[in-house]
Every structure is written in structure tokens, then in C-alpha cells.
Amino acid sequence: MSTYSDDLALALQLADAADLISMSRYQSQDLVVTTKPDNTPVTDADKATETAIRELIATHRPDDGLIGEEFGEESADKKRHWIIDPIDGTKNFMRGVPTWATLIALVDDGEVVVGVASSPALSRRWYASQGDGAFVSFNSGTPRKISVSKVSKLEDASVTYSDFVGFNHRLPAFRSLIDTCWRSRGMGDFWSHMLVAEGAADIAIEPSLALWDMAALDIIVREAGGSFSGIEGQPGPTHGSGISTNGILHQRVIDHLNDN
């Protein structure tokens, strides 16, 4: 049994509970939407999903800390703490676009060691734990191990992103990167990074993200053989931006975006 197998099992249980709540509210006519102080939307589904996850963590891992998008931190300075985004892609969720997911991660001693990205409207779930590889299941079927691509040239690479917002002074460099690459698509949010983990895309770029947007994605991409960093190349999900690649292309992407 691997070091984090029990934690992964719990994370998958948390995702099951989240999926039941989020799907029960998806495309509901009475969905309640409010605006947070940062002017981003939040729905009753976001809040209910995070509440359920918090209650399960309190029951099964009462000594662990927790960081959640909707209800903040509880003992987040502990060596072990969970990071939760109840619905990544809330704007998609609100509009009936199926590209949204619950993101669940466990940090141990400063490193993400377990990650789950569960997207019930897409009938997909990705997950990983440290040293055990990354997997995807479709429609609750048998999990399949995934790995990043072996594309070695930007000219042959497929790049995904959300939109052009947030790049600021790097926007010309980003446009240049898109022009250099073989193909670009605005998949957005978690899905861009999961496509990299599956080898279906080679680069995913998000210039402005929160910790809970990235923590689960970080380990899934890394366990699939790829690299995850901030836009300036700092490893991990704590730098306010997220770039996933197949690893081979990572430094070239970083250099391209930071070529002043």
C-alpha cells in the first residue's frame, strides 16, 4: 500500500459527495447566484458542495487543516491540509456549460501529494497521488493511467488557455507563442491542464489563478510525467498563475512568455 492510498481513497469519497450535490443543482431553474467581494460569482451549489466536503474532512481527518475557496482557512498552517475548490468554472456552471469540476488536493509538508479533479457533467474524473501515477475514469468506468505527450517542438505543440484576460504586459508574448505553436484552443480552467496530463494537449496557460484553482492540477500533471509551474517558472501552485506542459517544452514556454 502506498503512503497516500488512504488519503486518495478519502479524496475520491469527497468527490463522490461533491458530484451528487453539484449535479443536483446543475442547470437548475432556481439556482441562487450572488457576487463575492472580488466581483466573482458564487452559487448555492458552490457553498453546499464545500460545506459537505468540510464536514467529511472534519469527520475523517479531524487533525488536518483546510483551505476552501468559499469559507476560508481552518488550521491551514498545519503540516497536512486540504485545499478545496467546490466548483472550478462557476461561470460555466451558471450558464449550463459542462466544463466545471470539483478540485480536491492534500498538501503534506508543503507539497501537494493527492489531487482529484471531478467533472461529473463531462462524465470524467482525474486523480493522482504521490509516486503512484495519474489516472482518468470515464462515466465511472475502469480508471486508465494517463501520461503526457512526447511532442518536442513548439511548432508541433497544441496550446490551451481560457482567454486573453490577465496576461497584461505578457500578452504580445502569449500571442507570439500561439502563433508559433501548431494549434491553440480556448478550453479553459481545469480542463486545459487535464488535457495536458492526458497527452491530448501539450501546453496549458492560465496567467491569473488562486491556490485552490491549481493544487489538484499540479500533482495530476506531475504524476502524468509533466511539469507545473507559475508563469515565471517557479514550481508548484502557489505563485498566482499556472502553466502545465509535457515537461519537454516547459522551459521553452517559460522563456517565450518572459522574453522581454
**pLDDT tens across 150-177, in order?**
999 999 999 999 888 888 899 999 999 9
Asked if the model's pLDDT at residue 202 lies above 90, the reply is yes
Asked if the model's pLDDT at residue 35 lies above 80, the reply is no
Label residue 123 by pLDDT band (50, 70, 90). Answer: very high
Q: Residue 90's closest CA among 216, 238, 212?
A: 212
- Residues 204 and 159: beta-carbon distance below 8 Å: yes
CA atoms within 13 A on the CB side of 55: 8
* pLDDT the model gives residue 40: 67
How much is the mean pLDDT over the chain? 91
In order of start, what are the domains of the chain with their CATH numbers? 5-146 (3.30.540.10), 154-257 (3.40.190.80)
pTM of the model: 0.94
CA atoms within 13 A on the CB side of 9: 8
Q: Residue type for 212, please?
A: W
Q: Residue 209's closest CA among 247, 251, 173, 167?
A: 167
Strand 134-138 to 144-146 pairing: antiparallel
* pLDDT the model gives residue 71: 84
Label residue 44 by pLDDT band (50, 70, 90). Answer: confident
pLDDT exceeding 90 applies to what percent of the chain?
75
* pLDDT the model gives residue 51: 92
- Residues 192 and 162: beta-carbon distance below 8 Å: yes
Asked if the model's pLDDT at residue 38 lies above 90, the reply is no
* pLDDT the model gives residue 199: 98
Helices (H), the chain: 5-25, 44-60, 90-95, 171-180, 189-198, 211-223, 250-257
Asked if the model's pLDDT at residue 1 lies above 80, the reply is no
**227-229 sheet: strands from edge to edge:** 183-185, 158-161, 203-206, 242-245, 227-229
Mean pLDDT throughout 106-134?
A: 96
* pLDDT the model gives residue 176: 94
